[in-house]
Chains A and B, each alone.
Chain A
């Protein structure tokens, strides 16, 4: 087994560089280390100036997403042993503006997420005295997969449409819209459909399918989007062929 492994890390310090450069670090190889552990070793022992985001280190917070050898990956879930003999190329998440080193700005995504109203929309709230909204396990099953999204944005880095059309609302936002559309307690499906039928909505998607491939939580945003297209198309046909029907 190797003693050490090389990380080739993309550095970007706006005060020093006009574009990212690579800097190599040799870190000890441990077979139970994730890439995140190696990055923390770099920061603690080799170069304290390296900036990157991380938090839970167990794949539920969505903070540590980076490009590892060109693939969007959660660095807490990727192990050094999978990348032997190295070197491992680590860069900031693609298609987002780089603030510094491995840190990107995600304001874009936050604005897009807000657009789809990712909360329960009700025509009328039930008064407290009437108790909770009841939901059976089957009803939960309808949307549970889409609720697993941790907003890690790996899907945005995998989607070529996001690279070509930065205003595209994107896989996670649409999957989260579906999470609420399919929730039996929600009444906002019509509202979301009209928002996502607009220019930068779901119709920009060309079903590349990479978003589903890289999703660490199995959300399958590509499937969510195709289902939504079918809903949108059926809805459109119904409104044209049966205009007297109410929504």
Chain B
């Protein structure tokens, strides 16, 4: 069954990779380097919450969380096959990799729908 989904998984992997390549550098630079180093002021809780509450922002955040998770899962799966030669463990690898992506996306959806 997984074999029939291969083209879809590759498509999501590509989309996730493109999303990550396009927006992650900027986001990561701001939240993990610029703000902690004091080059940019941290947004106040209220104003950040305001921005995130907007439906477009929620959708955007969901996309930049779920797609790169599938991307990472897909790549990691093939790395485990090729680098660690674990092809015989296909079933658990697939379950853990894509399972994490699904759980992460579900968690994102839950949080984004339950903003105060």
Contact = CB atoms under 8 A, between A and B. Distances in A.
A232 B87 CA distance: 24
Interface residues of B, number: 12
A13 B6 CA distance: 44
B81 A164 contact: yes
B8 A233 contact: yes
Contacts, number: 33
A199 interface: yes
Interface in B37-78: 78
Contact of A164 (B3, B11, B85): B85
Contact of A203 (B10, B14, B85, B87): B10
A237 B8 contact: yes
Nearest to A207: B78
B7 interface: yes
A197 B85 contact: no
Contact of A237 (B11, B85, B87): B11
Given A199-B3, A203-B6, A233 B11 contact: yes
A239 to B, nearest CB: 9
The secondary-structure label for the interface of chain A is helix
Contacts of A235: 7
Interface residues of A, number: 16
A164 B82 contact: yes
Contacts of A206: 78, 82
Contacts of B85: 164
A22 interface: no
A235 B8 CA distance: 10
A197 B7 contact: yes
A236 interface: yes
Interface string B74-92: 0000100110010100000
Interface in A198-225: 198-199, 203, 206
> 5 closest A-B pairs (Cβ-Cβ)?
A236-B7, A233-B11, A233-B7, A203-B6, A232-B7
Interface of A: 160-161, 164-165, 197-199, 203, 206, 229, 232-233, 235-237, 240
Given A206-B78, A229-B7, A232-B10, 7 more contacts: A164-B87, A165-B87, A197-B6, A233-B8, A233-B11, A233-B14, A235-B7
